[in-house]
Amino acid sequence: MWDYTDKVMDHFRHPRNVGVVPNADGTGQVGSLVCGDALKLTLKINKETEVIEDAKFETFGCASAIASSSVLTEMIIGKTLAQASKITNQDIADELGTLPAEKMHCSVMGMEALEAAVKSYRQGGQPVVFEQQAEKIVCHCFNVSEETIIKAIRANHLKTVEEVTFYTKAGGGCGQCKGEIQKILDKVNSCALPEEKPAAAKQFAAMTIVEKIKRIEQVLEEFVRPQLNKDGGSVELVDVNGNAVKVRLLGMCHGCLAADATLKGFIEKTLKEKLDPSITVEKA
């Protein structure tokens, strides 16, 4: 069973804005019943201000798909089209507290439906089905294009084929496309703009223990605790030995079935990105 946050379960059990906006100004559709997930998003838009005055959805899918669609409607109502168009799949997941990695494609589906609905409005209101624009379809089981995979890799800093599957469903069927997905990963990551991580790593390695603790605490306070707090949890720094960091999970995070994933997949990953790629995090 997936480890869903309380907010995901709330939106799943009590979805907001279900249905179809009468005389919608924009209609976006994405997915296929054959693939297992489908979403229709309709919008009522003030034509003078381009503010989204109402949004409703109909979806066929799992709890994550329903929750992602529901929270998306709440996020975009009251925003202009320009503001709403900046919403990413990660913003949707963050608004829900988090989503299991295997269900991140549900937040991507919401982002794509919104893109199609905005395009529908720009084209006069005729429904628009989100289509892969790339010429090459990589995953034929789920009709996922090379462009979609590339966008997911870049937007979410994906490094493995498994992560690509979590975000796009590509490779989740027969698996014959996994080799091609790996080639795309290698190409995108080798062409990525170099970051100044080596310099940051040297600076961290040269710090005193007190300086390291201050920097780690700063990252925990800015980027980690706010996310854990959404689910009633937190984290406490216990010890630092070189680049080995020991922490204690608190509140709802303590004893959670997803504790190991939180430690490695979130806390350690964040510290690696913000401070030093060689940092390791263990539970105290």
Task: Give how far Cα 181 sits from Cα of 10, 32, 81, 232, Å.
Answer: 35, 22, 33, 37
Q: Is 35 a catalytic residue?
A: yes
Q: Is 174 a catalytic residue?
A: no
- Can you name the residues that pair with 26 across neighbouring β-strands? 43
Helices (H), 137-279: 146-156, 161-168, 178-191, 197-205, 209-219, 225-229, 259-261, 269-274
Locate 213 and state its tokens.
């603790």
CA–CA distance, 54 with 24 (Å, rounded to integer): 9
From the list 62, 106, 139, 253, the catalytic residue is 106
Task: Give how far Cα 176 sits from Cα of 134, 140, 172, 182, 211, Å.
Answer: 19, 9, 9, 11, 49
Strands 280-283 and 244-251: parallel
Q: Is 121 exposed, middle or buried (0-12, 13-18, 19+ CB in 10 A)?
A: buried
From the list 35, 62, 141, 256, the catalytic residue is 35
Catalytically annotated residues: 35, 106
